[in-house]
Chains A and B, each alone.
Chain A
Amino acid sequence: MRKMIELKNITFGYDADSPVLKNYSLTINSGEFITILGHNGSGKSTLSKLLVGLMEPQQGEIIIDGELLSEDTIPTIRQKIGIVFQNPDNQFVGSTVRDDIAFGLENKCVSYDVMNELVERYAQKVGMEKFLDSEPHYLSGGEKQRVAIAGVLALGANIIILDEATAMLDPRGRENVMNLIHELVEDRDKTIIMITHHLDEAVKSDRIIVMNEGEIILEGVPKEVFQEKELLESVKLDVPFAVKASYELKQRGLLKEVVTNDEELMDELCKLHSNR
């Protein structure tokens, strides 16, 4: 498997004596769907800002797609990596959906015809093709986030970071955006890093990384990570109901392992019932 992102012994702090990330190392492969979990202030956004070159680590190296991140490589690396932030309003630059999807392309000096084609294609991809001329204050938060994703896709980035992109959305908007993310995951041509503190959003990821106070405290496939209910709760993460219930059943010797979603829980309960 090809390495897409390598972080080597990163140390970073907003002021010198209290580092937010301490000797942080992480490798992410091409095409992986990674979820980074962590409570408020655990350093997730700091990590994502380092990855897109908005800030520079005090120590350590960041290598993206084989290229060392530095002042000189930032422009080329920004073509490969796109980020969607938490607040839908504060990343909507254009005065219409069309303008906003095109913003990155305009910066790249893409020609008028190519730009229009790309904007229409990706507006369609995120289901916003009917809103191309809409102004942002007529859109819901979820729609704005979908536009932001279209903007990243139109730029041709092969790494997409979603920094709590669903955190400010209502349940419907969140579901819409999550469905879109899962659709992108299924296409399997992008490396996707999703940052969240909702464990239920992490179920479908290839690997979960749990952070606390700037360090990785747990890492593994969802199934493995969810077995550690106590550790997760000790870092103030909200464990999904299916995990809690199956954990209790496991404690009582009724189940062999913790399940991650409601359907599996149902299956296990049905099995238990018929075996009785």
Chain B
Amino acid sequence: MNSIVIGRYLPGHSLWHKLDARSKILSTSLFVFSCFMINSWIFMAILVLLEYLVILLTKIPIGYFVKSLKPIFFFILLTFFLQVLFNHQGEILFSLGPIQIYDEGLSLGFFMSVRLIIVVVISTLLTLTTRPSDLTLALESLFKPLGKIGFPVAEIALMISIALRFIPTLFEETQKILKAQASRGVDISEGKFKEKVVQLTSLLVPLFILSFKRADELANAMEVRGYVPGRLRTSINQLSWRISDTVLLLICIGLFIGAIIF
């Protein structure tokens, strides 16, 4: 359980934690967009520095972010090597048989890896420092205009919040089934690919059956507590926009405009 960082929330009291979830979502999006538009190292250095400052502000140990990168580590390496090996621009730096490495390829490889890393880290930062209920409330509030054209914003927000709430439950259940099957001699981590597929069904079938049962019971519990899809509801969570939120958003808009111009 401790190895999963994506979607987790770490309670805290920093200035960053206290920001309105809406401004965090908007700023993070602007930051990510800027990051994908720029191609100068100077601008990238500014983004890295800003991100580093925010991490310092939240007092979250760097280890958490390293962990969050693990699942996409392969992807980062792939991007890097694709650029280094197949981007034949600039001058040859090095060649060994059929392999030729060009200086721009190398530089672009690094650039893209850094880009991926800071995008993942900033997104992790958002979920680590925002309560899931605030996150869904903020999404609901940001997408409210879509409700006017009949898009079920509130329902989807509730769906997301329930999905997030059940991630640890399902994870625990998966572990339990794996153990139960292991005690019957099924070991999913061993064997050939074909065997693995067959053994995977011994995990997925019970997991699906149990999840459907859960969904059914949950729907009953929601119905008896008066939930009617599509009907107006109030919320116990409230978002409050402060001056610090406006400042953050302005900074990120500035970054974004900068990224477009340069």
- Which residues does A use to contact B, with CB under 8 Å? 49, 52-54, 75, 78-79, 82-83, 85, 87, 89-96, 98-99, 102-112, 115-116, 119, 133, 135-137, 151, 155
B169 touches A89 (CB 8 A): yes
Closest to A51 in B: B224
B234 at the interface (CB under 8 A from A): yes
List of B residues within 8 angstroms of A92 by Cβ: 165
Q: Which residues of B contact A82 (CB under 8 A)?
A: 224-225
> Which residues on the A side are within 8 Å of B235 (C-beta)?
106, 112
B224 touches A96 (CB 8 A): no
B61 close to A (CB within 8 Å): no
Of residues 130 through 148 on chain B, the ones whose CB sits less than 8 Å from some CB of chain A are 131-133, 136
Q: Which residues of chain A are near B169, meaning CB under 8 Å?
A: 89, 136-137
B212 → chain A, closest Cβ, in Å?
11
A93 to B, closest residue via Cβ: B222
Contacts A87-B217, A109-B234 hold; do A151 and B225 have CB atoms under 8 A apart?
yes
B71 interface residue (CB < 8 Å to A): no
Which residues from 90 to 105 on chain B have a C-beta closer than 8 Å to any C-beta of chain A? none
Nearest neighbor of B173 in chain A, beta-carbon distance: A89
Which of A89, A105, A106 is the one whose CB lies under 8 Å from B214? A89
CB-defined A-B contacts under 8 Å, sample of 20: A82-B224, A85-B217, A87-B217, A91-B217, A93-B165, A95-B136, A95-B161, A95-B164, A103-B222, A103-B227, A106-B233, A106-B235, A107-B231, A111-B234, A112-B234, A135-B132, A135-B165, A136-B169, A137-B168, A137-B169
CB <8 Å contact, B234 and A106: yes
Contact between chains at B172 and A99 (CB < 8 Å): no
Provided the pairs A54-B220, A107-B228 are in contact, do residues A133 and B165 lie with their beta carbons within 8 angstroms? no
Which residues of chain B in 1-51 are interfacial with respect to chain A, using CB atoms and an 8 Å cutoff?
A: 9, 11
**Cross-chain contact B217 with A103 (CB below 8 angstroms):** no
- Select from chain B the residue with minimum beta-carbon distance to A91: B221
On whether the beta carbons of B234 and A95 are closer than 8 Å, the reply is no
Q: Does B237 contact A (CB under 8 A)?
A: yes
Residue of B9, B133, B172, B217 touching A94 (CB-CB under 8 A):
B133
Q: Which of B172, B213, B214, B224 has the most CB of A within 10 A?
A: B224
Mask of B227-244 contacts with A, CB within 8 angstroms, 1/0: 110011111111000000
Specify which chain B residues have a CB less than 8 angstroms from the CB of A107 in the assembled complex.
225-228, 231, 233
In whole angstroms, how far apart are the Cα atoms of A261 and B84 in the complex? Answer: 79
Expressed in whole angstroms, the Cα–Cα distance for A99 and B161 within the complex equals 11
Partner of A102, one of B220, B227, B228, B236: B236
* Contacting pair B218 A90 (CB below 8 A): yes
Q: Is there contact, CB below 8 Å, between B226 and A75? A: yes
Chain A residues whose CB sits within 8 angstroms of the CB of B11 once the complex forms: 133
Residues from chain B with Cβ under 8 Å of A79 in the complex:
226
**Closest Cβ–Cβ distance, residue A75 to chain B (whole Å):** 7
Name A102's closest neighbour in chain B (CB-CB).
B236
CB distance from A259 to the nearest CB of B (A): 38
User: Chain A: which residue is nearest B11 at the CB level?
Assistant: A133
Q: Does B182 contact A (CB under 8 A)?
A: no
Nearest 10 CB-CB pairings of A with B:
A91-B221, A102-B236, A90-B217, A107-B226, A104-B225, A137-B168, A95-B165, A95-B132, A106-B233, A95-B133
Chain A residues near B237: list those with CB within 8 A: 99
Assembly CA distance A90 to B218 (angstroms): 5
Minimum CB–CB distance for B78 against chain A, Å: 34
Query: Residues of B contacting A85 with CB < 8 Å?
Result: 217, 220-221
Q: Please tell me if the beta carbons of A109 and B232 are within 8 angstroms of each other in the complex.
A: yes
Closest to B135 in A: A95
Query: Which residue of chain A has the shortest Cβ distance to B237 in the bound complex?
Result: A99
Task: State A94–B228 Cα separation when bound (angstroms).
Answer: 16
Q: Which of chain A's residues have a CB closer than 8 A to the CB of B238?
A: 112
CA distance A109 to B236 in the complex (A): 10
Residues of A within 8 A of B228 (CB): 107
Decide: A106 and B133 in contact? CB cutoff 8 A: no
Other A-B pairs beyond A87-B217, A90-B218, A103-B222, 8, CB < 8 Å: A54-B223, A90-B214, A94-B165, A95-B133, A99-B236, A103-B225, A107-B228, A136-B169
Instruction: Please tell me which one of the listed residues A53, A93, A105 contacts residue B236 in the complex, with CB atoms under 8 A apart.
Output: A105
Contact of B234 among A98, A110, A119 (CB under 8 A): A110
Which chain B positions have C-beta within 8 A of A90? 213-214, 217-218, 221
List chain B residues, Cβ under 8 A from A91. Answer: 217-218, 221
